[in-house]
Amino acid sequence: MEADPRMSEWWRGAVVYQVYPRSFADSNGDGIGDLRGLLARLEYIAALGVDALWVSPFYPSPMRDYGYDVADFCGVDPMFGTLADFDAVVARAHALGLRVIIDQVYSHTSDLHPWFTDSRAGRAGPHADWYVWADARPDGSPPNNWQSVFIGSAWTWDARRGQYYMHNFLREQPDLNLLNEAVQDAMLAVARFWLERGVDGFRVDAVSHFTHDPLLRDNPPRTGGARTRPIDFQALCYNADRPETLAFLERLRALLDRYPGRFAVGELGGPDAGARTLSAYLDSSRLHTAYSFLFLRADAPTPQFVRAAVAEWDALHAGGWPTWVFSNHDAPRVVSRWGGPSPPAGYAILLNALLLTLRGSVCLYQGEELGLAQADVPFERLCDPEAIANWPLTLGRDGARTPMPWSSTGAYGGFSAAEPWLPLDARHLEQAVDRQLDDPDSVLQATRSLLALRRRYEALVSGEMEFLPAPQPLLLFERRAGPSTLRCAFNLGDVPASCSLGDDAEWQVVAGSASLQAAPRAPVLPAWGFLIAERRER
């Protein structure tokens, strides 16, 4: 019997709730979230109506980049619990009907990983070529001009080996040499380890940085764009989005295909990636889907930008299935990025409605369902190395990583019995889960209703999407599947706007902040309002 494609491709149109475990729920009172804390809150996640959870890194790590500097790919850091705790999370999530995906970090390791310890010890050891090493130029300078994402040069001198090693991120995150087949074998063994423990898929970190130009050619200068870091001055032609990555992705996909129903969503797509490379990533023999950075980098969601973002995805990925994300652990929260220091009333609901009606899969970051704004973290409490290095030019990442507010009472919002690792913003207490659960007009209840609507209509899960003409500041599109047609209208402006539904059908509002009673053909949307209407043929 053939496998049901609706089961094997469950990820297509799924909503994945991202958990940043360090800040989700603390079970043992040390101020740091953990796996048992997550286990205790799984019912909350299931009740939202999402399809899966993505658990950000929980592996052993010195935490220089808060878990993305991995020292052991097949373990659990004691601050988060044990492998038994992880197994309990997977088992309980599955019992609740939730899939579980986890981060896989193949680009780099911690500099404390045993592989790197051995590699830097000399040029003849078993792991000598597992990282990217290169000799200095004749004047002692780094091998080329590549810059790291975070701070300065992508090369650090190591006196023990007498060479530079490459790191696209922190100097404590040396890049693995994925051009080496033995390194590929090791990473596939890691993937197999977690698949055997029952995970349903992977969020594959930093795919754009998996491989590098073997000739180590200099990147050319970039023209235009904001320049707050050295890397912003370069077009990343030779240390990002390299065609050499594709062969490894084919091996990863072949492994995943041996486990029915598993999938991989890639983090990829830098500003210099060409259409040919990005389209190749989503070939049927490589990644299943990838999430777009377009909204994470946008200044505001104007109708023109939303249309352009969808069109750009289709152009770059040649029809590959998108995953949309407005917020995550690496970007300031969307309500603040787009709504400013005092987001307008209803703005968070509008954004969640837009996110959940776009064609594609969705990643919903913890707290996004509450409408949390970027937390205010004073400089002396900053932990994120990027935020510290670039302060005060950017909002940084710490303000999106502060503790989840479960309770509106108590100094720590029900997150922990102790002072959390990052301070909980007092404003977030007013948006705590307990308060919003009791408020039928809250962002949380609206988001739950939108998720229920998405489950109800296949058109919102996998249906076609067509933009329709609409005057500024309206965004209008239809989602269609079979006999079902939904018209989605968003007022992305600060004054009421009339929306024309046309005269060819009867419409019934199924969600939103407008009524058809006064004007069945041209309802008025309030500022930052929306409606979703179902077509009823006459």
Cα–Cα nearest to 263, from 245, 288, 281, 286:
288
DSSP β-ladder status, 506-512 and 530-536: antiparallel
d(CA 388, CA 181): 37
Contact present, 85 and 36 (Cβ < 8 Å): yes
Looking at the structure, tell me whether residues 336 and 193 fall in a common domain. yes
Inter-axis angle of helices 245-256 and 181-196, nearest 10: 30
Q: How far from 268 is each of 242, 338, 457, CA to CA, in Å?
A: 11, 23, 30
Kindly report whether the peptide bond that precedes residue 473 is cis, defined as omega within 30 degrees of 0.
yes
pLDDT band (50, 70, 90) for residue 379 = confident
Domain total in the chain: 2
Domain final position from 310, 343, 370: 370
Does 344 lie in the same domain as 468?
Answer: no
CATH code, domain with 508: 2.60.40.1180
pLDDT, position 275: 46
Residue 458: per-residue pLDDT: 96
At 329, list the tokens.
Answer: 């652990």
Catalytic residue numbers read: 205, 267
Tell whether 158 is covered by a domain: no
What is the per-residue pLDDT across 37-76, written as a single tens digit (0 to 9) for each?
999 999 999 999 999 999 999 999 999 999 999 999 999 9
User: Is the residue at 262 inside a domain?
Assistant: yes
From 327, 351, 370, the end of a domain falls on 370
Q: Of 350, 370, 390, at which residue does a domain stop?
A: 370
Whether the pLDDT of residue 252 is over 90: the answer is: yes
In this prediction, residue 537 has a pLDDT band, given cuts at 50, 70 and 90, of: low
pLDDT in tens, 105-123: 999 999 999 999 999 999 9
- What's the confidence (pLDDT) of residue 516? 66
Q: What is the pLDDT of residues 259-308, one digit of tens each?
A: 999 999 999 865 555 444 667 888 889 999 998 888 988 888 899 999 99
Strand residue runs (E) in 463-529: 464-467, 474-481, 484-491, 497-498, 506-512, 524-525
Within a domain: 378: no
pLDDT band at 212 (very low <50, low <70, confident <90, very high): very high
In a domain, 437, yes or no: no
Is the same domain home to 326 and 472? no
Task: State residue 382's pLDDT score.
Answer: 83
Give the CATH number of the domain where residue 280 resides: 3.20.20.80
Please check whether residues 352 and 471 belong to one and the same domain. Answer: no
Q: What is the DSSP string of 440-462?
A: TTSHHHHHHHHHHHHHH-HHHHH
| pLDDT score recorded for residue 297 | 81
3-state SS, 167-216, equals CCCCCCCCEECCCCHHHHHHHHHHHHHHHHCCCCEEEEECHHHCCCCCCC
3-state secondary structure of 45: helix
Q: Provide mean pLDDT across the span 125-149.
A: 97
Sorted by sequence, the CB contacts under 8 Å of residue 308 that are 6+ apart come out as none
Domain assignment of residue 386, yes or no: no
Specify if 122 maps to a domain.
no
Same-domain check for residues 246 and 355: yes
Which domain covers residue 493, as residue numbers? 464-536
SS3 15: strand
Residue 503 covered by a domain: yes
The reply to whether 98 and 231 lie within a common domain is yes
Residue type, 50: V
From the CA atom positions of the chain, what is the Rg in Å?
24
Phi–psi pair at 307, nearest 5 degrees: -60, -45
258 found inside a domain: yes
Distances, alpha carbon 449 to alpha carbons 50, 95, 125, 502, in Å: 11, 23, 58, 26
Does pTM top 0.75 for this prediction?
yes
Closest CA to 41 of 17, 9, 71: 17
Helix, strand, coil in percent for the chain, rounding step 5: 30, 15, 55
Interacting residues of 488 by C-beta distance below 8 A, sequence separation 6+: 353, 357, 476, 477, 478, 479, 530, 531, 532
